[in-house]
Structure 1
Amino acid sequence: MTEPLDPPSDFSKGSGAAAIGARLRRLSERIDRDAARLYQESGEAFEQRWYGVVQLLSRQDALSVGDLSAALGVSHASISQIRDGLAKAGLIAWEVDAKNARLRRLRLTPKGRDLAARLAPLWAALNAAAIELNDEAADALAAIERLEAALAGTSLYDRVRARLD
């Protein structure tokens, strides 16, 4: 007969720097979960992962998937998934670029613009709360920026390969 396990502990927290990716994912999921609750309570069908794309499209008339990918620092595949969700919800449409027929330019539909206007007060409150959290965490954004810069200098992949070779 085996001994019963102790109550689970926070493995990621106990793993220190080795679990940095897991900790960042956990924070992101927690923030997204809270935002989803707020959207649900507001009665608006909106996903937090759409935020950056909708914000950029509300400031620009039309942008390509590549433009959005570069501006948000995420993969084309991620933007394509977001594009598909926004299109299914009727919030964006796209047209062929006049100068490059291979390029599609995304734009908010009137429904998308209306939704962005309705969500503006919630987004302002989310931004204010984020500023408060960052202040409470002694400028967590600065630490994230340092981490991004360190990874831009030498990727995690290259760091691990150097240790394995």
Structure 2
Amino acid sequence: MKDYVAEMRGAALGARLRRLSAAIDADATRIYAAMGLRFEQRWFGVINQLSLNGPMSVSELAAALGISHASVSETRQSLEKAGLVLSEPDRRDSRRRTLALSRSGEVLVDRLRPLWSAFDEAARRLDAEAGEVTQALARLEQALARQSLHDRIAALIGHRD
């Protein structure tokens, strides 16, 4: 059977990235489960930032991770439910929430650090084997920062907002 996504090359860029992301996340989930750890890969960015930097606001986390405020808020809710982070109103601005690792979160991070080191090394080796694909992804991000996909398509079809 033909692989449509592979055949379409650049035209299926989004599908290719989603497929790779799903494969990486699935493997990470399998490793966490094999180690007897209840940890969701989507939690990594927030948990890692809090372990490195201490308490941070949702806005600060979103900026540090380059993701939306809504995405961080959704992760926050999941992490609070799991008992891994604590959330409280910011002292300077009650509309903002400040997140911090709970004691359970700190214990989990201590258990995860050696595993995360293995993840880092495996990712470096995979990137090298694949020809430094992270550099190509950085160039892709820069190209999109210069002109969004929306703007590129709108220019091709002669559409103006």
TM-score range, shorter chain: over 0.9
User: Match of 1:130?
Assistant: 123
User: Match of 1:164?
Assistant: 157
- SS of the equivalent of 1:95 reads strand
- Between the aligned partners of 2:94 and 2:78, the Cα distance in structure 1 is 23
Matches within 5 A, 1:143-158: 143-158=136-151
* Structure 2, gaps ≥5 residues long: none
Matches within 5 A, 1:84-99: 84-99=77-92
Matches within 5 A, 1:1-165: 8-165=1-158
Q: What RMSD in Å do the two structures reach over aligned CA positions?
A: 0.8
* Structure 1, gaps ≥5 residues long: 1-7
Q: Displacement, 1:65?
A: 1.1
Larger Rg: 1
- Between the aligned partners of 1:162 and 1:65, the Cα distance in structure 2 is 35
- SS of the equivalent of 2:86 reads strand
- Between the aligned partners of 2:101 and 2:58, the Cα distance in structure 1 is 13
TM-score (norm 2): 0.96
Q: Displacement, 1:145?
A: 0.2
TM-score (norm 1): 0.93
Aligned residue pairs total 158
- Between the aligned partners of 2:140 and 2:156, the Cα distance in structure 1 is 20
- Between the aligned partners of 1:133 and 1:117, the Cα distance in structure 2 is 25
- Between the aligned partners of 2:97 and 2:9, the Cα distance in structure 1 is 44
Structure 2 counterpart of 1:157, one-letter code: H
- SS of the equivalent of 1:90 reads coil
Structure 2 counterpart of 1:123, one-letter code: W
- Between the aligned partners of 2:54 and 2:112, the Cα distance in structure 1 is 19
Q: For each residue in 1:61-85, what CA deviation from the matched residue of structure 2 results, as whole angstroms up to 9, or x when unmatched?
A: 2111111111111111111111111
Q: Any runs of at least 4 consecutive aligned residues in structure 1 with deviations exceeding 6 A, and if so which?
A: none
